[in-house]
Amino acid sequence: MQSILDELTEEIKNNNFFEFVRSKYFTNENDLVVAIATVHNSKIIDVVEFFKTFPNNNNNFYLAKHIFEKVLPSIEHPVIKVMECVDALFKSADGDMTAGAVFQSFMKYCSQKQSYSEEALCVALNSIEDWEYFVSPSIVAGASFDIQLWSDKAIQLILSDQVKVKSQAIIALGEITYDNDITIIKKVILALTQAQQSLASDEINAKILFSTFRIFLNLDSPFNELTELIEAALKLNGDSTIHQTSNIFAFNVERIPNALLPVFLESLKKLKGTNLGTLKNVDIGIYNLLKNKMENEAIALIETLLLLNKTLTIEQFEMTRSQLFEVENSSVLYKIITKWLLSKKIQLLKAIEFLSFSNDVDEPFQLDMTQVSLLSNEEKIFLTRKIVGWLMLRPITATSLLISLMNEASEQVIEEISSLYIYNIMFMNFPNSQKKFVESILEQQGQIVQNQLRIILQKLDSYEQDLNLSLKLLELQPTQSQKETYSRNHSMKMKSVYKKAQEKSIFRQLVRHQLILYSNKTISHIHYGNGEVKREVFPMHTFQASVEYPRLDVLEPHNLDYFIKTFRIEGITE
């Protein structure tokens, strides 16, 4: 410790204060922070003035701000000067997500002496437009000396006609540590209740909700007046209140009591899709509901949001989607797929389509048999057509769902699904992948389903044999000139497509492009920092990817398009 203090003192004399601090901070943070506070308190350097004027023109600013936040609680300095420095750093951070952290350090600074809190609060109240954000930390720091005195001050400030003063006082009441002093807490809750009932604005109501829930979290035995105030605040549906509700929902969902959770969910259903921050919070909250095995609440909320907000899509619920594809949530995913395919709601059907494509691979899913077992034969055929209409371009997913449905259907429905939908549509469009998939799961099915699948597999083999024989008929083969014309036309189209793809390819910006006429390896010379040059030989490899294109989109594009659109829109109610 002494050595770093001596070094720091010497570097200050050489005008290398920050350069030295930056070089030592990540290797010896604790000792360095103590040393900086020591040289400041010894009046060797005024660190408050130094950091106050620190420019935000490179990454050093955020390091400097962070260092000041660490040092501030340990220094002795006039309050107004510290406030000016804190304000300057906050404004220079320019909306950065860590900008407000400096006020936490200011609160710790004020916790050194009660007089600091008194002076800071006095300055802030005398010019609230300039010092608004100093009200709350001043009160919270003062309460560490006398909870009764400072909570009473905050309650008095709630009555202020100035909205900014009122807001900051309400926030402070939520941040104070009450140590389960029920007498003081009940007094605070009464004051917040009166403020909430006096036709409070949306912004004030949001602050009341924030503070009340913070008190609730830190209380061993919540009482009725507390939960009643939370419930009353949740019932106001302004944008600020809903955003605050989403904040609580996102990070405290497991701590929301069962009696209040339905009220939280009801409030969030009023969400507007234009507020991206609120939407992100809701996404995190639904993710946590799923992790905490509250899938019914999660499904109901996301379903309602999609139906009530036409601008919302499942794409915006990124964390929810990732959680649904976790193995432990497969039953929840199957429940959603089945319910939404049967819903007759276009928003939910589009969500299912997006869900299937958001998965990295085309993999088999199942239906929720609890729901399927309650369906009539007509409803099972309706479900079949929805699966084909919305998921045909995910052939493995679609066919796995159809086979799952067959296992819970009558022989008549099994035959209809296998012949009309699996064979005529799925097999005819994707014969290779479908045949391989069905053969791989054949032995896992019931006997009746197995027999029917074997029939359509044999039918496909017969069809392909006949197709191969027809290719040998000379009358059906194109002439050499037709082949060459088609090849030239296809080559020109592919060249055009390739050129357009290159224009927007980020890959071309990352690597150097070279045309190699013939080779099987490349040679590169790698230059190292010490001047050494090393010759490296890299064998060349080929990379390829294939996609099975729907066959009927070439043979009968209009018919295929008609059937798919019909399957999609039939029965839609909205």
Could you read off the pLDDT of 378-411 as tens digits, one per residue? 999 999 999 999 999 999 999 999 999 999 999 9
Question: Quick one: pLDDT at residue 44?
Answer: 93
Determine the Cα–Cα distance for residues 430 and 253; give it in Å rounded to an integer.
45
Question: What are the φ and ψ backbone dihedral angles of 505, each rounded to 5 degrees?
Answer: -80, 120
Question: What are the φ and ψ backbone dihedral angles of 5, each rounded to 5 degrees?
Answer: -65, -45
Determine the Cα–Cα distance for residues 233 and 195; give it in Å rounded to an integer.
11
Q: Which two tokens stand for residue 426?
A: 């799925």
* pLDDT at residue 478 tops 70: yes
442 alpha-carbon distance from chain centroid: 39
Q: Which two tokens stand for residue 339?
A: 């319910």
Question: Quick one: pLDDT at residue 533?
Answer: 87
Question: Quick one: pLDDT at residue 501?
Answer: 79
Instruction: Answer whether 97's CB lies under 8 Å from 61's CB.
Output: no
Three-state SS for 219? coil
Determine the Cα–Cα distance for residues 226 and 216; give it in Å rounded to an integer.
7
Q: Is the pLDDT higher at 512 or at 101?
A: 101
CA dihedral 436, 440, 445, 448 (to 10 degrees): 40
Q: Which residue matches tokens 């390829």? A: 544
Question: Quick one: pLDDT at residue 83?
Answer: 96
Question: Quick one: pLDDT band at residue 485, thresholds 50, 70, 90?
Answer: very high
First-residue to last-residue Cα distance in the chain? 72
Question: Quick one: pLDDT band at residue 504, thresholds 50, 70, 90?
Answer: confident
Average pLDDT over residues 320-335: 91
At 487, the amino acid letter reads S
Determine the Cα–Cα distance for residues 511 and 502; give it in Å rounded to an integer.
12
Dihedral sign, Cα of residue 295, residue 297, residue 298, residue 300: positive
Q: Is the pLDDT higher at 281 or at 536?
A: 281
408 conformational bin, left if phi > 0, alpha if psi -120 to 50, beta if neither: alpha
Question: Quick one: pLDDT band at residue 529, thresholds 50, 70, 90?
Answer: low
* pLDDT at residue 266 tops 70: yes
- What size, in residues, is the chain? 574
Average pLDDT over residues 354-367: 89
Average pLDDT over residues 137-145: 96
Average pLDDT over residues 111-138: 95
Three-state SS for 46? coil
Instruction: Answer whether 230's CB lies under 8 Å from 214's CB.
Output: no
- Tell me 392's DSSP state: T
Q: Which two tokens stand for residue 236?
A: 């106001």
Cβ-based neighbour number of residue 139 at 10 Å: 27
* pLDDT at residue 74 tops 90: yes
493 alpha-carbon distance from chain centroid: 40
Determine the Cα–Cα distance for residues 378 and 253; give it in Å rounded to an integer.
41
Average pLDDT over residues 449-474: 89
Three-state SS for 454? helix
* pLDDT at residue 523 tops 90: no
At 273, the amino acid letter reads G
Q: Which two tokens stand for residue 464?
A: 């392909």
Q: Which residue matches tokens 């936040």? A: 69
| Among 44-58, 201-215, 228-242, 535-549, the least confident range | 535-549
Q: Which two tokens stand for residue 457?
A: 């597999």
Residue percentage of the chain with pLDDT more than 70: 99
Determine the Cα–Cα distance for residues 232 and 311; give it in Å rounded to an integer.
29
- Specify burial of residue 388 (Cβ count, 10 A radius: 0-12, 13-18, 19+): buried
420 alpha-carbon distance from chain centroid: 41
Determine the Cα–Cα distance for residues 320 and 288; give it in Å rounded to an integer.
9
- Sorted by sequence, the CB contacts under 8 Å of residue 539 that are 6+ apart come out as 520, 521
Question: Quick one: pLDDT at residue 27?
Answer: 84
* pLDDT at residue 435 tops 70: yes
Most confident of 99-108, 191-200, 322-331, 472-481: 99-108
CA dihedral 507, 508, 512, 514 (to 10 degrees): 120
Percentages helix, strand, coil for the chain (3-state, rounded to 5) are 70, 0, 25
* pLDDT at residue 1 tops 60: no
| Among 127-136, 303-312, 372-381, the least confident range | 303-312
Average pLDDT over residues 148-175: 94
Q: Which two tokens stand for residue 11?
A: 């570097």
Average pLDDT over residues 431-459: 94
- Mean pLDDT over all residues of the chain? 91
Contacts 24+ apart (CB under 8 A), 120-127: 120/79, 120/83, 121/153, 123/79, 123/80, 123/83, 125/157, 125/165
* pLDDT at residue 362 tops 60: yes
Q: Which two tokens stand for residue 41?
A: 């308190």
Question: Quick one: pLDDT at residue 541?
Answer: 79
Question: Quick one: pLDDT band at residue 443, thresholds 50, 70, 90?
Answer: very high
